Structure 1
Amino acid sequence: MSNSNAKNRIYGVPDDEMPELTPELAKKLRPLNDILAERGLPPVGRPKSANPKVSVSLRLDREVVEGFKAEGPGWQTRMNAALAESLKAKRKRA
Protein backbone atom coordinates (compact mmCIF):
# COMPACT_ATOMS: atom_id res chain seq x y z
CA MET A 1 0.00 0.00 0.00
CA SER A 2 1.46 3.37 -0.92
CA ASN A 3 1.84 6.13 1.65
CA SER A 4 -0.96 8.19 0.07
CA ASN A 5 -3.38 5.23 0.35
CA ALA A 6 -2.32 4.54 3.95
CA LYS A 7 -3.55 7.92 5.18
CA ASN A 8 -6.96 7.34 3.54
CA ARG A 9 -7.57 4.11 5.46
CA ILE A 10 -8.63 3.56 9.05
CA TYR A 11 -8.11 0.04 10.37
CA GLY A 12 -7.97 -1.25 6.81
CA VAL A 13 -11.30 0.27 5.74
CA PRO A 14 -11.13 2.84 2.93
CA ASP A 15 -12.54 6.28 3.79
CA ASP A 16 -15.23 5.99 1.14
CA GLU A 17 -16.63 2.91 2.93
CA MET A 18 -16.82 4.61 6.33
CA PRO A 19 -20.13 6.27 7.21
CA GLU A 20 -20.05 10.02 7.79
CA LEU A 21 -20.19 10.97 11.46
CA THR A 22 -23.36 13.02 11.66
CA PRO A 23 -24.72 14.62 14.86
CA GLU A 24 -27.46 11.96 14.92
CA LEU A 25 -24.92 9.13 14.66
CA ALA A 26 -22.69 10.79 17.28
CA LYS A 27 -25.60 10.79 19.76
CA LYS A 28 -25.88 7.00 19.38
CA LEU A 29 -22.21 6.37 20.21
CA ARG A 30 -21.48 4.74 23.57
CA PRO A 31 -18.31 4.05 25.55
CA LEU A 32 -16.62 0.81 24.56
CA ASN A 33 -16.52 -0.47 28.15
CA ASP A 34 -20.33 -0.18 28.36
CA ILE A 35 -20.68 -2.35 25.26
CA LEU A 36 -18.15 -4.88 26.58
CA ALA A 37 -19.93 -5.07 29.96
CA GLU A 38 -23.24 -5.84 28.22
CA ARG A 39 -21.54 -8.80 26.54
CA GLY A 40 -19.90 -10.04 29.73
CA LEU A 41 -16.43 -9.07 28.56
CA PRO A 42 -13.77 -7.39 30.72
CA PRO A 43 -13.15 -3.66 30.27
CA VAL A 44 -10.11 -2.45 28.37
CA GLY A 45 -7.25 -0.73 30.10
CA ARG A 46 -5.56 -1.11 33.43
CA PRO A 47 -7.95 -1.90 36.30
CA LYS A 48 -8.41 0.77 38.97
CA SER A 49 -6.13 0.17 41.93
CA ALA A 50 -7.57 -0.04 45.43
CA ASN A 51 -4.39 1.74 46.57
CA PRO A 52 -3.35 4.07 43.73
CA LYS A 53 0.17 5.50 43.60
CA VAL A 54 0.81 9.22 43.91
CA SER A 55 2.92 10.93 41.28
CA VAL A 56 5.64 13.16 42.75
CA SER A 57 8.62 15.12 41.54
CA LEU A 58 11.66 14.27 43.63
CA ARG A 59 15.35 15.16 43.50
CA LEU A 60 17.61 12.30 44.61
CA ASP A 61 21.36 11.77 44.69
CA ARG A 62 22.65 10.48 41.36
CA GLU A 63 24.29 7.50 43.09
CA VAL A 64 20.96 6.45 44.63
CA VAL A 65 19.09 6.51 41.32
CA GLU A 66 21.94 4.85 39.40
CA GLY A 67 22.20 2.15 42.06
CA PHE A 68 18.52 1.23 41.75
CA LYS A 69 18.60 1.46 37.94
CA ALA A 70 21.66 -0.80 37.82
CA GLU A 71 19.52 -3.61 39.25
CA GLY A 72 17.41 -3.56 36.07
CA PRO A 73 13.75 -3.02 35.23
CA GLY A 74 11.42 -2.43 38.15
CA TRP A 75 13.81 -0.04 39.87
CA GLN A 76 11.04 2.39 40.79
CA THR A 77 9.02 -0.39 42.42
CA ARG A 78 12.11 -1.52 44.35
CA MET A 79 12.79 2.06 45.41
CA ASN A 80 9.21 2.36 46.66
CA ALA A 81 9.61 -0.91 48.60
CA ALA A 82 12.87 0.30 50.16
CA LEU A 83 11.26 3.57 51.24
CA ALA A 84 8.21 1.73 52.62
CA GLU A 85 10.47 -0.67 54.58
CA SER A 86 12.46 2.27 55.96
CA LEU A 87 9.26 3.97 57.09
CA LYS A 88 8.01 0.75 58.71
CA ALA A 89 11.31 0.34 60.60
CA LYS A 90 11.20 3.98 61.71
CA ARG A 91 7.66 3.52 63.07
CA LYS A 92 8.75 0.42 65.02
CA ARG A 93 11.55 2.39 66.69
CA ALA A 94 9.20 5.22 67.68
Structure 2
Amino acid sequence: MKTELINGVSQGTLEIISRKVYDKQIAERILQNEFTAVGLCQGDVMSILVASDIAEKTSEVVVSEITGMCPQHMTCLGVFGDVTSVEESLAAIESRFNKK
Protein backbone atom coordinates (compact mmCIF):
# COMPACT_ATOMS: atom_id res chain seq x y z
CA MET A 1 0.00 0.00 0.00
CA LYS A 2 1.43 3.35 -1.06
CA THR A 3 0.35 6.40 0.93
CA GLU A 4 0.93 10.13 0.58
CA LEU A 5 -0.14 13.14 2.63
CA ILE A 6 -0.95 16.53 1.12
CA ASN A 7 -1.02 19.17 3.85
CA GLY A 8 -2.47 22.59 3.01
CA VAL A 9 -3.82 21.42 -0.33
CA SER A 10 -3.67 23.92 -3.19
CA GLN A 11 -6.87 25.02 -4.90
CA GLY A 12 -5.83 23.47 -8.22
CA THR A 13 -5.18 20.12 -6.59
CA LEU A 14 -8.53 20.27 -4.81
CA GLU A 15 -10.25 20.91 -8.13
CA ILE A 16 -8.51 17.94 -9.77
CA ILE A 17 -9.45 15.66 -6.88
CA SER A 18 -13.04 16.91 -6.80
CA ARG A 19 -13.48 15.93 -10.46
CA LYS A 20 -12.18 12.43 -9.73
CA VAL A 21 -14.06 11.75 -6.47
CA TYR A 22 -16.91 9.36 -7.08
CA ASP A 23 -19.16 10.71 -4.31
CA LYS A 24 -20.43 14.10 -5.53
CA GLN A 25 -21.41 15.24 -2.01
CA ILE A 26 -17.80 14.80 -0.92
CA ALA A 27 -16.62 16.53 -4.12
CA GLU A 28 -18.74 19.54 -3.14
CA ARG A 29 -17.22 19.57 0.35
CA ILE A 30 -13.74 19.47 -1.19
CA LEU A 31 -14.53 22.51 -3.35
CA GLN A 32 -15.84 24.37 -0.29
CA ASN A 33 -12.36 23.99 1.29
CA GLU A 34 -13.78 21.96 4.16
CA PHE A 35 -10.63 19.82 4.46
CA THR A 36 -7.10 21.01 5.26
CA ALA A 37 -5.37 17.75 4.37
CA VAL A 38 -5.76 14.89 1.94
CA GLY A 39 -4.31 11.43 2.34
CA LEU A 40 -3.95 9.28 -0.75
CA CYS A 41 -3.72 5.51 -0.67
CA GLN A 42 -3.01 3.32 -3.67
CA GLY A 43 -3.19 -0.45 -3.81
CA ASP A 44 -5.35 -3.30 -4.98
CA VAL A 45 -9.11 -3.13 -4.46
CA MET A 46 -9.11 -5.34 -1.36
CA SER A 47 -6.39 -3.25 0.28
CA ILE A 48 -8.19 0.00 -0.58
CA LEU A 49 -11.35 -1.26 1.11
CA VAL A 50 -9.43 -2.35 4.22
CA ALA A 51 -7.60 1.00 4.30
CA SER A 52 -10.92 2.84 4.07
CA ASP A 53 -12.26 0.96 7.07
CA ILE A 54 -9.08 1.57 9.08
CA ALA A 55 -9.09 5.30 8.27
CA GLU A 56 -12.66 5.87 9.41
CA LYS A 57 -12.20 3.83 12.58
CA THR A 58 -8.99 5.66 13.49
CA SER A 59 -10.05 9.29 13.38
CA GLU A 60 -12.64 11.81 12.21
CA VAL A 61 -12.02 11.64 8.46
CA VAL A 62 -14.11 11.27 5.33
CA VAL A 63 -13.08 8.67 2.76
CA SER A 64 -13.95 8.34 -0.88
CA GLU A 65 -12.72 6.45 -3.88
CA ILE A 66 -10.90 8.48 -6.48
CA THR A 67 -11.46 7.12 -9.96
CA GLY A 68 -9.14 7.06 -12.91
CA MET A 69 -9.98 7.25 -16.58
CA CYS A 70 -12.40 4.35 -16.35
CA PRO A 71 -14.92 5.08 -13.55
CA GLN A 72 -15.67 1.45 -12.71
CA HIS A 73 -12.08 0.96 -11.50
CA MET A 74 -11.17 2.13 -8.01
CA THR A 75 -7.62 3.41 -8.36
CA CYS A 76 -7.06 5.38 -5.21
CA LEU A 77 -8.57 6.12 -1.81
CA GLY A 78 -8.86 9.72 -0.64
CA VAL A 79 -8.79 10.38 3.11
CA PHE A 80 -10.07 13.90 3.85
CA GLY A 81 -10.00 15.89 7.08
CA ASP A 82 -7.80 18.05 9.26
CA VAL A 83 -4.06 17.45 9.25
CA THR A 84 -3.88 15.56 12.55
CA SER A 85 -6.79 13.24 11.72
CA VAL A 86 -5.48 12.41 8.25
CA GLU A 87 -1.98 11.80 9.64
CA GLU A 88 -3.40 9.44 12.29
CA SER A 89 -5.41 7.53 9.70
CA LEU A 90 -2.45 7.19 7.32
CA ALA A 91 -0.20 6.03 10.17
CA ALA A 92 -2.72 3.33 11.11
CA ILE A 93 -3.00 2.22 7.48
CA GLU A 94 0.78 2.11 7.06
CA SER A 95 1.12 0.16 10.31
CA ARG A 96 -1.39 -2.44 9.17
CA PHE A 97 0.13 -2.95 5.73
CA ASN A 98 3.79 -2.80 6.80
CA LYS A 99 3.20 -5.83 9.04
CA LYS A 100 2.77 -8.06 5.98
TM class by shorter chain equals: under 0.3
Structure with max Cα Rg: 1
Greater strand share, structure number? 2
Q: Which structure carries more relative contact order (alpha carbon 8 Å, separation 6+)? A: 2
TM-score normalised per structure 2: 0.25
